[in-house]
Amino acid sequence: MRKILVVDDSSLALEQMARVLEHRSVRLMMARSAREALEVHEQERMDMMFVDLHMPEVDGTELCRALRTNAGLRSVSIVMVSASSTEADRVRSLEAGANAYLPKPLTRAAVLRTLLKFLNVAPRKKVEVLVQMQLLATPQAEPFDARTLNLSTSGMLAQTIHPVEVGAAVMCHFALPSVPAPLVFTAEVVRSAQGPTRGTNALGVRFLRTDSTGLTALERFVAGG
């Protein structure tokens, strides 16, 4: 699981990020100062940091430079955040070694796009919807039903009573609340395990192909919740 550290002296900002990242496939940690952030990173080796630019004592650019000049700590992805939103602050952040700069208040969509860009962590939402699956290798077989446990822009975790082997290609048909047209994805089963309830299987499904309209609708649905 990827590890993310949020560095901000504002309790409100830390709480906001906790809400944005809840139910995501990440381990979230908090620090209220640059000094505390360095201590956490030395112990935990974070994958990404969201760092407030304007902090007392040591600001975000100083923390960024300290990380980039330390061979053991420099590999972390750093996203600088600031309420000032000026071009000068953006340039100063990038020159200090930040990978990206985001203005406050942070939106859920902006944070999730950043996770996907730097960590390949797809936005994920806990939601239960009915999915009809069809094995592509045996098109004469009857479609079977499954229910999602969570859904992301790259795939789903679904529960079904139907046994499916890892590597099987499937066609997935499902509808989402507030999305007018059903979505259709060609997918691959990448994991199969005992489901959360007796007699069921939990399938990890990776999406392979769909049309651009369907992907856009899925991205908006997942990022919106």
Per-residue pLDDT reduced to its tens digit, 140-179:
788 999 999 999 888 899 999 999 999 999 999 999 988 8
Q: Is the dihedral of CA 82, 83, 87, 89 positive or negative?
A: negative
Domain 124-223 maps to which CATH number in 2.40.10.220, 3.80.10.10, 3.40.640.10, 1.10.3080.10?
Answer: 2.40.10.220
pLDDT at position 122 is 65
Where in the chain do CATH 2.40.10.220 domains reside?
124-223
pLDDT at position 121 is 64
Counting as low any pLDDT under 70, the low residues of the chain are 23-24, 120-123, 224-225
- pTM for the model: 0.59
Instruction: Provide CATH code, domain 2-119.
Output: 3.40.50.2300
Where in the chain do CATH 3.40.50.2300 domains reside?
2-119
Strands 77-82 and 100-103: parallel
Q: What is the dihedral of CA 184, 221, 122, 202, to 10 degrees?
A: -60
